[in-house]
Amino acid sequence: MRVATLSRADLGKQHVRLDPAFYLGRELVRSTMSSEGSRHVSLEDIVEAIHDGARLPSAASGIPMLRLNNVRPCELDLSGMAHVDGTAAKWINVQENDVLFTRAAQPFRAAAVQSGMPAEFAVSSELTIIRPRPAVLPEYLAAVFCTPTLNRILCDLAYRGGSSALPRLRLLDIARLPIPLPPRSLQKSLGLQYQQAVDLTASARAEFNAVVTAIHTEIDHRVSGVKPPSSAIEVLRSHLADRWDVPFNRGRVFRHSSGASSAMRPLLQLAKPAGTSLRGLTDDEEVFAVQADDVNESTFLVEGGEVRPLSDLSSRMRQRLEVGDVLLCTTGSGDQVAYLDEELGPEEQPLLGSATFTALRFHETPRVFAVTLAHPLVRTQLRLLSSGSVQRFVNKRDLDELLVPVLGQVWREDFETRLTRAMQRRREALLARTALIEAADDYLRKVTP
């Protein structure tokens, strides 16, 4: 149990915070800074500036912007960058050697901006730009922000704007964070580990891009005659059945026209849905929970997740998963598709997934079908199948009608082998990143009283 004693004056007169965790975190910051022989300094003393991200309207073209999902622990993912109108408001241009920190996230994370980035780009309001002084390597600072030791303090200091909002940090609390300043040699050692993880990530991403592009190109070649229907279609009253919405009937016309292609087959013939029974699990049993944010859309892998007791999970986190399943996002606005590989989570712990996904068990080459489900022809069908006035969802009965492009057996086996190798390369990069964060965390625990 953690205890902190406060007087009424400590609460202040304006913007009073009544969450106990905040005062526990603030007391921990104070004790860390004031302890005898402490190597910690305030973040504001070792950086040149701390800037807020910007709120800029989206645009078809303009300034590229990094958002929350582009920042992973010690890694910047530039795929899927949005474009915004840079003339609508003031914004800070990100520079090389800046550190981008997610001030609204769970868990909190950071990444260093390295060479090769666009000359001009902004970050969204969920991110903070930290510009370290020359005495501090940005790679070291980014690794420190990703450590569990500092994350415990960050979680205490964060507040929630609403019951469903992400934890958020004030710039004032970020500036006062206690950061240990190690010798330059240790910073350089962590910097080399950081660069190794970056190089492995770049190699794996290039391999993934080559395989995914090859699969989609081969699909385009085989189904070149399949085109989505136009906006204006003619449907007989007797064919409307129980769905009168125009998108669904456009999708039905699309599936009817593309069904003539021998390369298109119903999803029901290729995979079966995973079972949802939690039989055999007790409420106090620890499980590995997977949510939509844990999926990396560019690698088709689940790269996050956490171990939690079953009783702590909501009713929407009760879908039983197995290694080899393919997760398809059928709820909400996401397009995530992921393959559950053998390296995901501890072997002895059951896997549970969010109801955002539909878990599919393909009879063969599941990695290839995961990439196939991300093809524009499949995404178009999913959008037309979806219903719901508040949140998009596709029910399982309608999902059975989904038509999936199927390559020949030889092609699929070759692509499956290449995807397996690419996923192994990505896991090597993730292991290198984990080793970096553990090394930084070891140092923090050593110097923290």
Domain boundaries, the chain: 8-181, 219-412
**Quick one: average pLDDT of 135-141?**
95
pTM for the model stands at 0.85
The packing angle between helices 148-157 and 20-34, to 10°, is 130
pLDDT at residue 39, as a whole number: 84
Please report which confidence band the pLDDT of residue 138 belongs to, taking 50, 70 and 90 as the band edges: very high
299 SS3 class:
coil
Alpha-carbon radius of gyration of the chain: 24
What fold characterizes domain 8-181?
Adenine-n6-DNA-methyltransferase TaqI; Chain A, domain 2 (3.90.220)
**% of residues, the chain, pLDDT over 90:** 42
Residue with tokens 């409420």: 283
Please report which confidence band the pLDDT of residue 92 belongs to, taking 50, 70 and 90 as the band edges: confident
Measure the N-to-C terminal CA separation of the chain; round to a whole number of Å. 17
Helix and strand counts by DSSP (H, E) for the chain: 11, 23
Task: Tell me whether the CATH fold assigned to 8-181 matches the one assigned to 219-412.
Answer: yes
Is 219-412 assigned to CATH 3.40.605.10? no
Q: Could you tell me which residues come within 8 angstroms of residue 414 by beta carbon, excluding any fewer than 6 positions away?
A: none
Asked if residues 323 and 350 have their Cβ atoms less than 8 Å apart, the reply is no
Q: Could you tell me which residues come within 8 angstroms of residue 186 by beta carbon, excluding any fewer than 6 positions away?
A: 140, 443
pLDDT at residue 243, as a whole number: 60
pLDDT at residue 283, as a whole number: 82
- Per-residue pLDDT of 356-389, as tens digits, reads 899 999 999 999 999 999 998 888 888 877 765 4
pLDDT at residue 174, as a whole number: 93
pLDDT at residue 238, as a whole number: 60
**Quick one: average pLDDT of 223-238?**
64
Q: Backbone dihedral region of 273: left (phi > 0), alpha (psi from -120 to 50 degrees) or beta?
A: beta
Asked if residues 336 and 292 have their Cβ atoms less than 8 Å apart, the reply is yes
Produce one character per residue of 222-260: b if its CB has 16 or more CB atoms within 10 Å, e if not: bbeebebbeeeeeeeeeeeeeeeeeebbbbbbbbeebee
Residue with tokens 């501890």: 346
CA 283 to chain centre: 27
DSSP 8-state code for residue 230:
P
Asked if residues 254 and 380 have their Cβ atoms less than 8 Å apart, the reply is yes
Tokens of 79: 């795929």
pLDDT at residue 391, as a whole number: 64
Please report which confidence band the pLDDT of residue 400 belongs to, taking 50, 70 and 90 as the band edges: confident
Range with the lowest mean pLDDT among 53-67, 253-267, 280-294, 313-327?
253-267
Q: Could you tell me which residues come within 8 angstroms of residue 400 by beta carbon, excluding any fewer than 6 positions away?
A: 266, 267, 268
pLDDT at residue 232, as a whole number: 58
Please report which confidence band the pLDDT of residue 60 belongs to, taking 50, 70 and 90 as the band edges: confident
Asked if residues 56 and 84 have their Cβ atoms less than 8 Å apart, the reply is yes
Torsion of CA 209, 215, 221, 226, to 10 degrees: -100
pLDDT at residue 35, as a whole number: 78
Strand stretches in 178-221, DSSP E:
178-180
CA 186 to chain centre: 30
H or E segment to which residue 127 belongs: strand 127-132
pLDDT at residue 248, as a whole number: 67
Q: Could you tell me which residues come within 8 angstroms of residue 341 by beta carbon, excluding any fewer than 6 positions away?
A: 301, 323, 423, 427
Q: Which is more confidently placed, 444 or 31?
A: 444
